[in-house]
Chains A and B, each alone.
Chain A
């Protein structure tokens, strides 16, 4: 309780306000215009939640900004899942807005996106179930007052949406404590001989990264409790170029790099290379391409471009040129020195070499890969 009060107070000065604070006006307008049936304890109807995420214009003229740019289908399935009694698992490679979507979903459904468990390799059971206030416990013995509820427990008792970030990083035995919560909708407290039963409206959104190695895969028993939605990489090259250049611009400012307006062409090129290798087919759809072992996500494209900008600013003439990004691309693509190198060279020779206007880039790549 105290935590959320502080947050509410700090709402205006916070470096990054919560979704429900930042978009409070939109949520309010939606709630006012929403005449469709709402599930118990939901702030909005599923339809309104989808509109909140995808954007739109309300009958009273309020413009709802799109929070997630992507297929409508995905948002609809996600929202609908929350209305059933299965939990929602958002999967995707890094940088596909999993956390962002989960935050906005819980803000729209429950009006509170702070019931959050951050999954790490060291996440203990207490973070998901409950802990004890040892001073109380020693002074008064086990009682409800000595119990420190986890965000999940609070969400259960209040009928809210809980969030678990990076579910697959949590050790398997800790993950499995979720099974009872999700199937029986109850959390037993054997020390007190009590239990906390979930109130209607409770549900859980988990996010996980499906390309990382060395994570704890979900047990099939747990997996069965989730409906899975895979958040895709940006659908069109234009959207991806847009995301990359916007993020690069932001990062460049914080790193005090000079802006390079001429760099858009290079950004487009990096995005094209990444997309083609990722999709395994050239942009014109005529040539198939082997895919390397790396993820080649949008996030990596951003770091390649930022690295290139730094090179151009400190060692070049300040303009992003093919040579500045070539080394970065090579590093991102060739993760496995044997197999990926062949993939990369094949790509260079069969696709890049022939492409109009890519001569400089081809030469730069040949230089760094030799």
Chain B
């Protein structure tokens, strides 16, 4: 008699149920499970009270925590059921797959990670389930497996109860049938394109042989992927198996249990555990009877908690619809597709929106596993310790300041580490304001290591095995969950600071998406300066910022489209705020690479703003000024705009606002008036024309505008105005000397400066004379 070979589908609740029944019937002395043998020492922890699935066995190379593999186990995983059964019934339990020491070493050479190979039914080239399903006339392999294996026994099928009268169904029959089917498949497809499987199966056979020697043929049960069962049945010689295993590369590995989540079991999270409805499977496994009825009740309860009216009548109808659908589709029992269809039609009014809630909360589910404290340390901690050593950055309880010069490699690495830890909510270092240096290559930190931080690191272990991978994973998750645009921009900045190149595309995508859907231009305008800043940081740190530049350009584009309509109909406060945005965007656009002609588009927006009546004066004035400063507005045109804004037909308050926008603030507006007599004349004649009542209204605005000037500028302006327009206009611009200086150029004194200037510029007399000639 051969040992009991239980072929399963990883994470299949039906398989788990069948395994339990088979183990109970056979009561083997030893249970062998597909998994890395290094985990044997950790197996007793599975019986620990604090252990709560979903959990994962984590193997990582001892000196490179980034090289890691996971074996996730949920409550409904057949492997987990077998482990728990063995521990509860005093049977020996062992892992028999290829040691992680080899599989991790092999990972470096071959492409796919070990978790792909061990956890999924091989589907890269040949998917055995798909072949079987195709033979049975199913187009969806998952559904076939569900119908044939998983849904059996979930509820007594009418036909099956007749069998039950004849006697208990044979708990081994399904495994025998499955093994036969798989044997037929492997005869046709060989190893199905998975060379690694041959090595793994050779090792499993050796382990099986050793166990048989110890416990006898009948005392051993094996729980492994159905695909491997035929290979374990074939008779090979020990020598042949050993030959296959010869010369495998090896690395030193460490193992531990880590908590897992249903979300990561789901296929879309990229961990390849191979199921996209862990919540549904968990329900199938946990429900005592009437799974569909219980499921619909769960759905109804969820909807009620979310304030969606769902009555018991809805539940009844949904169950009936699901079951009728199953009959029509020729399925033994309503499966996930039927229940989803029924919930959509009966409870959601045909809409997919409430259905997403069900998908998120129930079908995938929010279950988080727990691991006992006695489990070995997470690799993240070791990775951190390693980095701390190599960077000479000791964790000290005493607070201290750290100044970093990012141009040095070690300092840049320290900064990256601290930024990454901050992203992981491990607040070891807090950025401090530097010693007055505004250069982008300096950074100051305040460091302080608190004991709680160790706990934080253990928590952060969920995100990854190294500081880098954990920070990347966390940043990606945050990008997905962030709601406000500003949050994502901040995150992008953090990603650049922490140098997470892998997270950046995800964050950028999130940023672009949020920007596309955000209808409020001021949000966009707030986000752009930070992005432009990030672009410059990126330059300092030599990171690739092409994607960032693209997103920033897209953002600027949207602002160009949305800004003019957003500027209409603003009140005074809104106008002031928007003027700030215009300034911010203008500065940011100047920092962007101008490949897309974004500068020109922005200028056309400014031109539009400066000439549109419905735009508040302060913004119009500001737009005109920005154009003038950049040399894109002729002075004549500026004077025309000003005359227009200050013409008698305009409300005095609006005109004052225009002046504030045009020459207000500490941006050198006063000097502009000093140098351009014409503009000053316009302001002067407007001001003298303002009626007495209106003057009181505009005074505060004017005061705000002019009081911001430097004292010297104010005085000069005053003197210019006192001198009167006539005299000023009579003089040419160069001759209109600043008070205290004579009018015209004193060439003799100017010539005296030339030799020194030549020294400073490093050019000889001839060139200097040429230059002087040009200037003269």
Contacts and interface: CB of A to CB of B under 8 A. Distances in A.
A288 B517 contact: yes
* Most chain A CB within a 10 A radius of its CB, from B346, B517, B557: B346
A86 interface: yes
A77 to B, nearest CB: 5
Interface in B487-533: 512-513, 516-517, 519
A246 interface: no
B554 A350 contact: yes
Contact of B324 (A84, A229, A280): A84
A171 interface: no
Given A79-B328, A288-B516, A350-B554, A227 B561 contact: no
Contacts of B346: 86, 227-228
Residue from B314, B337, B560, B561 having most chain A Cβ neighbours under 10 A: B561
Contact of A288 (B342, B513, B560): B513
Nearest to A218: B349
Contacts of A91: 349-350
A132 interface: no
B489 to A, nearest CB: 16
B557 A50 contact: no
Contact of B341 (A46, A77, A224, A346): A77
B328 A50 contact: yes
Interface string B307-329: 00101011001001100110011
Interface stretch (A142-150, A237-245, A337-345): A337-345
B599 interface: no
A333 to B, nearest CB: 14
Nearest to A339: B519
Given A224-B311, A342-B562, A349-B561, A80 B325 contact: yes
Nearest to A83: B324
Given A84-B321, A346-B558, A76 B349 contact: no
A130 interface: no
Contacts of A346: 516, 557-558, 561-562
A339 B520 CA distance: 11
A345 B349 CA distance: 34
A341 B324 CA distance: 48
Contacts of A230: 350-351
A289 interface: yes
Which of A227, A228, A338, A339 has the most chain B CB within a 10 Å cutoff?
A227
A223 interface: yes
B345 interface: yes
B348 to A, nearest CB: 8
Interface residues on A, range: 20 to 34
Interface in A264-278: none
B565 interface: yes
Interface string A331-369: 000000011011001100110000000000000000000
A155 B105 CA distance: 73
A76 B512 CA distance: 39
Contacts of A77: 321, 325, 341-342, 344-345
A290 interface: yes
B320 A84 contact: yes
B512 A223 contact: no
Contacts of A73: 337, 341
A338 B350 CA distance: 32
A289 B321 contact: no
A220 interface: yes
A287 interface: yes
Contacts of B329: 76
A288 B555 CA distance: 12
A46 B561 contact: no
Nearest to A227: B345
A224 B325 CA distance: 19
A168 interface: no
A203 interface: no
Interface string A171-211: 00000000000000000000000000000000000000000
B557 A350 contact: yes
A83 B350 CA distance: 18
B314 A224 contact: yes
A81 interface: yes
A81 B342 CA distance: 9
A287 B321 contact: no
Interface in A63-97: 73, 76-77, 79-81, 83-84, 86, 89, 91
Contacts of A341: 565
A23 interface: no
B328 A229 contact: no
Interface in B752-775: none
Interface of B: 309, 311, 313-314, 317, 320-321, 324-325, 328-329, 337, 341-342, 344-346, 348-351, 512-513, 516-517, 519, 554, 557-558, 560-562, 565
Given A280-B517, A338-B565, 7 more contacts: A81-B321, A84-B320, A223-B349, A228-B345, A341-B565, A349-B561, A350-B557
19 contacts: A46-B328, A76-B325, A77-B344, A79-B328, A80-B321, A80-B324, A80-B328, A81-B345, A86-B317, A91-B349, A91-B350, A224-B314, A228-B350, A228-B351, A288-B516, A290-B519, A338-B565, A349-B561, A350-B516
Q: Return the 3 tightest CB-CB contacts between A and B, nearest first.
A: A228-B350, A288-B516, A230-B350
